[in-house]
Structure 1
Amino acid sequence: MFHVRSLLRLFDRPRPARSAQEPAVGLTAGSSAESQPTSGLLTVELAAKAAAPTTATLRVFVGAAATPAFEKPLSFGPQELRTWVAIHGHLVANGPLAVRLELADAAGAVLAQTRLTLKVRNEGELAEITRRSLTSRGVALVVDELDARLYDYADDSLAAWYDRSPEAIEAHLKMLGDTGQASPEEVEALRQFTRDGFMVVPGVVDEDLLSRLNAALDDAVAKKVEGYEWGVSQRLHNLHLQYPAIRELWLHAKVIRMLRLIFGAAGRPCQSLTYVFGSQQEHHQDTIHLTSFPAGRMCGVWTALEDVQPDSGELVVFPGSHRLPRVYMKDAGIPKVGEDWSQFGETVTPLWTRLLDNKFRREVYRPKAGTVLIWHENLMHAGSMRLDMSKSRRSIVGHYFAEGAVVYYDSSGMPGVLYEGELPA
């Protein structure tokens, strides 16, 4: 069974006390979409347990359907089995959605069941064109692994405006300027994004927020969050859940505005990564790790918390490389990644190297504190070697997806989970 992490932290929450007489087979399930209207994939985490080793068929019923939309055999016992399924929310109506999960024996008798009511919200043009594509392709309503093969990436009509011809791009930029939707400075930033695969936006973060961000990072280091040891290139995950200043940056109004201008839809964050020192990560595209359908609907956002110094393990970008072919797991021909990334590194990194083939300028990025870099999902980028191990490179990275897209992680086959709350106007 593929190793499952708790995507929604449901298994970290207090569980109801079991009765003195437990059932022979138990099934529990939960989803963040029970409480929060959710776009794209609706992820349901579930846990099965039995007094003795048991094999049963998981059946998932969606809406009023009398036949299951998904079936899969599961083997479990006294040790709780945790797994998940994802529902393509684009394929159902907005509003409440009834979901019933059952465990059935070989004869079809129901051993355990549970019911959920999920809240579906897919609104806007991107959600509609995604719905039409999924319907036309016959994509399954319920899945237990996400893969690029499921989706019609060959349909050029789904390309984002910034992935189209130079003439189409310029026409779009002119429209934004002529209609007052973007200022002249914003139009130029968008033009850089389409040309280079990234835009640089100086002075986004003011001194007060910078001070609070650095204080939050100091506190996380002092507390050795995630076992952090001073001097290592380790990144700290999702500190926005613990530190208000990092959450404020995560939802910064200027960043959200620029993403809306890029996507033509709201940009919703999915995670944050915080660094004290340079990552020293090899060149890569984010597409295979943070995957959207339609393509191009993800951006990375890199914020400098200090003036970046030479030899500190600076970020490196390859301008124009976002136009290279996207690499998915189907292209690599290897299984999804569980815990061991060695085969991925041995197979996919050489593919990226061959794509670069010394055709692109290597640009070392040394911004001032408070500067934000927004990059295209397919931009090749890396962390350079830390030639001076004493120099820090304090920064925070967020990854954002266009509302209305399907969001998943092609490298692992897992569904993505977005922030579905209120965004700045």
Structure 2
Amino acid sequence: MKTLPTNQWTQELPWIDRPGANVRAYLSNKKTAAPFDVEQKLLFWQENGFVVFENAVEKSLLDQFEEEIEYIRTHSHDRNISIELQGKQTYTRAVAPDKLNDPGVKFNHLHTVSKYAAQLSLVPAVSQFLQIVFEAPAAVTQSLTFWRGSQQPIHIDYPFVCRQKRLAYIAASWIPLEDISPEAGPLEYYPGAHKIAISGFFNWGNGDIIKGADSMQNSMEFAKYLEERVKAAGIVPVVFCPRKGDVLIWHGNMPHAGTAIKNPELTRKSYVTHYTSLADYPDSWKIPSEQWDHRSIHCNGGYAFQYPWTDEKDALPSWTT
């Protein structure tokens, strides 16, 4: 269990988060080849905790991924795909096929069974940007596919996504599968609140800064704490209504939330990925290197792996062809 903030976060920071980090000086000693203004993006990330790349995802890839999700719905008992249904974790074979159309259904870790999902996680803008931030290739740790707005209270990722070797080596991307309406419960985030001076460290109990099975505090208490911190700092959330093909990348300490759904008839189709560096990928999740050819996707410098416990028979058509 990770317990001491000063040992588990502040002493193990990516270069850009370290005290006195100078982006321009750093880049003067590095050779970077990326199809975007690296300095501008890094400076914005350092100050705000997020970057947006517009029209950075091929629409054909998004369409292929949507078609594969529809394939899951129509062949739900052919494979055991992890899902969340009404807040509970289960599998496609365990539920009636029509339940996969219910509001709030979430598909878990499709990057381990769908080549299209893995490629979405590793689109060029994301893989190339995070490789600079991590000083190492990005590796996918988990992915979540939403059909409707989550309406999730304000939270930060790392207390929940914490299997990486160095806690602070975490980031996320959010890709819309369609144009997002402000009535559909869009995502919101809090620019600048990724800085520890603003967010602080929430004590889940006994000094723990990550949530565990025996935590004394709950997620609603965490949300209240964050609301008070961002209010005290005068930070106003930004509601994110992107167009299909855009991508948002946010810092692992960036507070964000799902806003209220105003029109329940609307979808908010989106794909979320969490990352660490390849060096920080959990040892217990690694597959043998001789299996990488058929159990991993290496794309644009980043990596997506099947979990050791992934049943290869559950792989979707895109992965196996």
When normalised by structure 2's length, the TM-score is: 0.73
CA shift, 1:252, in A, is 3.2
- Structure 2: gaps (5+ residues): 84-94, 302-321
Residue 356 of structure 1: CA displacement? 1.9
Aligned counterparts of 1:218 and 1:198: Cα–Cα separation in 2 = 31
The answer to which structure has the higher helix fraction is 2
Q: Which has the higher strand share?
A: 1
User: 1:211 offset after TM fit, Å?
Assistant: 1.2
The answer to whether the 8 A contact 2:160-2:210 is kept is no
**Residue in 2 aligned with 1:392?**
267
Cα RMSD after superposing both structures: 3.0
Matched, 1:270 2:141: yes
- Does residue 153 of the first structure (1) align with residue 27 of the second (2)? no
Q: How many residues align?
A: 268
Of 280, 285, 298, which aligns to 1:417? 285
Asked if 1 retains the 8 angstrom alpha-carbon contact of 2:55 and 2:245, the reply is yes
The equivalences for 1:24-423 within 5 A come to: 146-149=1-4, 152-153=7-8, 156=11, 158-165=12-19, 168-176=22-30, 179-182=31-34, 185-223=37-75, 226=83, 227=95, 228-291=99-162, 292-323=164-195, 324-327=199-202, 329=204, 330-331=206-207, 336-337=212-213, 343-357=217-231, 359-405=234-280, 407=282, 417=285, 421=296, 423=298
Contact 1:304 / 1:371 at 8 angstroms: preserved in 2?
yes
Distance 1:353 1:387, change over 3 A: same
Offset, 1:152: 2.0
Amino acid in the other structure paired with 1:211: D
CA distance in 2, matches of 1:288, 1:366: 26
Matched to 2:223, the amino acid is T
- The one-letter code sitting in structure 1 at the alignment partner of 2:213 is V
Sequence identity (%): 22
After superposition, what is the alpha-carbon deviation per residue over 1:324-380, rounded to whole angstroms, capped at 9, x for unaligned?
A: 224363446998227xx9951243232222222252121000111111111100000
Q: Give the 3 Å change call, closer, same or farther, for CA 191–335 of structure 1 in structure 2.
A: closer
* AA of the residue aligned to 2:184: S
1:230-263 Cα offsets, whole Å, 9 max, x none, are 3412321112333332132233344222210111
Which runs of 5 or more structure 1 residues have no equivalent in the other structure?
1-145, 408-414
Deviation at 1:174, TM superposition (A): 4.6
Give the secondary structure class of the aligned counterpart of 1:258. helix
CA contact (8 A) 1:312 1:389 kept: yes
For 1:368 and 1:214, locate their aligned partners in 2 and report how far apart those are by CA, in whole Å.
16
Q: What secondary structure sits across from 2:153 in the alignment?
A: coil
1:249 and 1:181 map into 2 onto residues whose CA distance is 21
8 Å contact 1:281–1:383 — kept in the other structure?
A: yes
Return the alpha-carbon distance in structure 2 between the equivalents of residues 334 and 208 of structure 1.
38
TM-score computed with the length of structure 1 as normaliser: 0.56
Whole-Å separation in 2 of the counterparts to 1:168 and 1:267 = 22
1:194 offset after TM fit, Å? 1.2
Alignment partners' CA distance in 1, 2:134 and 2:223: 28
Q: Contact 1:334–1:344 at 8 Å: present in 2 too?
A: no
Q: Which secondary structure state, in structure 1, belongs to the residue aligned with residue 285 of structure 2?
A: coil
Amino acid at match of 1:160: P
1:301 partner SS:
strand
1: CA distance between counterparts of 2:281 and 2:58? 34
